[in-house]
């Protein structure tokens, strides 16, 4: 991996960069669509390329269970298996330690999960997580961690952080594939001193980049912003910073100003499947009755496939008749909206006026109260 900071905005911590990986170059800031099960729901790899996706995320826990690493290895790796020749990042399975809390038991060695579908028991350790990720062949892989729930008391958060740092060291020791790069994950809950301790511990171990974890897990948005900005400011400037599992368009625009380089979230695809699309004015529920005779595109001037060819009235009709094409068109639009947002953000940073870009976008965009996640 080679990461180069290209431009630094004069009024904020926003920056552009170039991330060079085994399967291609990624311009940052970037948004990675979530392909948990080796597919971004309802769209093809060709459609992902058309909207401008540079890199996608897949999940270690889910792919380790189904189809299993042997099948993916026999297919030539995850890129070949899913017909995607651009970079891939795999989560370590650490998020499932949080999201599947009712189905797991944490020990110092790792986590014992009860399969959420078949009911069988599976153990995921730092070494096993790295083994799976190396077999999948992702370009960027993540250290195994525990994400404490919100709220968590300080004693629990301290114990969790100590365990996560132990797991980070074991993940680093297990990483042997030079074609891949390993990122550590900052934890520490809502405590600034613990987040600082986490960063210092991870830097001592040594990682190619850093994920900012433990946010967007139910805490108030203002606290999430405060800790994201604080944590990003602790991380080394010469390495990529990845804010995990966030967010809505207004969250991304604000967090780019903190100096974050990489994002992922299910919001654009999940909202699309549920009949909501994003515009410069905010979220629009296209399945609502008010659009039944509206023959404009989802957003005037949008260059996505859906807006070039279909109307709000038609897409609403598809949703209300249960047609799969509705999910696809709304998802394509949302993914294009996110990638266009990243392109415009990079341009504003290059021109040195990100503050003005941020202010204009946030003034026009009505925020959503929904929270983000990576499931």
Furthest C-alpha separation in the chain: 61
Residue 180: strand, helix, or coil: coil
String of DSSP letters for 256-320: HTTT--EEEESHHHHHHHTTEEEETTEEEETTSGGGTT--S-SSTT--SHHHHH--HHHHHHHHH
Is 264 known to be catalytic? Answer: yes
Q: Between the CA of residue 327 and those of 56, 95, 322, 359, what are the distances in Å? A: 19, 26, 9, 31
User: Is the CB of residue 244 less than 8 Å from the CB of residue 374?
Assistant: yes
Tell me which of 9, 139, 261, 264 is the catalytic residue.
264
Q: Is 163 exposed, middle or buried (0-12, 13-18, 19+ CB in 10 A)?
A: middle
> What are the start-end ranges of the E strands in the chain?
2-8, 15-21, 24-28, 30-33, 56-59, 88-91, 104-106, 111-114, 121-124, 140-142, 181-186, 209-212, 241-243, 262-265, 276-279, 282-285
Specify which residues 32 forms β-bridges with. 264
Q: Is 218 exposed, middle or buried (0-12, 13-18, 19+ CB in 10 A)?
A: exposed
Is 91 known to be catalytic? Answer: yes
- Give the CB-side neighbour count of residue 170, counting CA atoms within 13 A: 19
Tell me which of 91, 139, 145, 261 is the catalytic residue.
91
What residues act catalytically? 91, 264
């Amino acid at each position: 991996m080679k990461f180069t900071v290209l431009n630094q905005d004069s009024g904020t911590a926003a920056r552009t960069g170039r991330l060079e990986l085994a399967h291609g170059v990624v311009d940052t800031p970037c948004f990675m669509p979530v392909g948990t099960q080796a597919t971004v729901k309802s769209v093809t790899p060709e459609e992902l390329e058309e909207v401008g996706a540079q890199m996608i995320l897949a999940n270690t826990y889910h792919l380790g269970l189904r189809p299993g690493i042997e099948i993916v290895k026999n297919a030539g790796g995850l890129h070949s298996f899913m017909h995607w020749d651009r970079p891939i990042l795999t989560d370590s399975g650490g998020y499932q330690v949080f999201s599947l809390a009712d189905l797991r038991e944490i020990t110092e060695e790792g986590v014992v999960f009860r399969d959420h579908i078949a009911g069988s028991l599976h153990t995921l350790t730092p070494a096993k997580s790295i083994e799976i990720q190396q077999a999948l062949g992702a370009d960027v892989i993540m250290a195994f961690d525990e994400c404490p729930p919100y709220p968590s008391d300080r004693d629990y958060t301290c114990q969790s952080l100590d365990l996560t740092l132990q797991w980070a060291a074991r993940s680093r020791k297990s990483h042997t594939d030079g074609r891949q790069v390993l990122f550590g994950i900052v934890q520490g809950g809502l405590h600034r001193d613990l987040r600082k301790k986490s960063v210092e511990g991870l830097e001592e171990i040594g990682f190619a980049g850093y994920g900012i974890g433990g946010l967007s897990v139910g805490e108030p948005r203002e606290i999430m912003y405060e800790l994201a900005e604080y944590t990003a400011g602790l991380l080394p400037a010469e390495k990529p910073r990845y804010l995990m599992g966030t967010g809505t368009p207004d969250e991304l625009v604000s967090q780019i100003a903190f100096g974050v380089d990489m994002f992922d979230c299910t919001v654009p695809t999940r909202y699309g499947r549920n009949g909501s699309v994003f515009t410069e004015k905010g979220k629009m529920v296209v399945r609502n009755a008010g659009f039944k005779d509206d023959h404009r595109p989802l957003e005037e001037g949008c260059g996505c496939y859906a807006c070039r060819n279909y109307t709000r009235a038609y897409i609403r009709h598809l949703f209300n008749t249960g047609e799969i094409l509705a999910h696809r068109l709304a998802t394509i639009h949302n993914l294009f909206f996110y990638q266009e947002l990243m392109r415009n953000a990079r341009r504003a940073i290059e021109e040195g006026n990100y503050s003005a870009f941020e202010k204009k976008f946030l003034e026009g965009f009505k925020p959503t109260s929904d929270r983000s996640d990576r499931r």
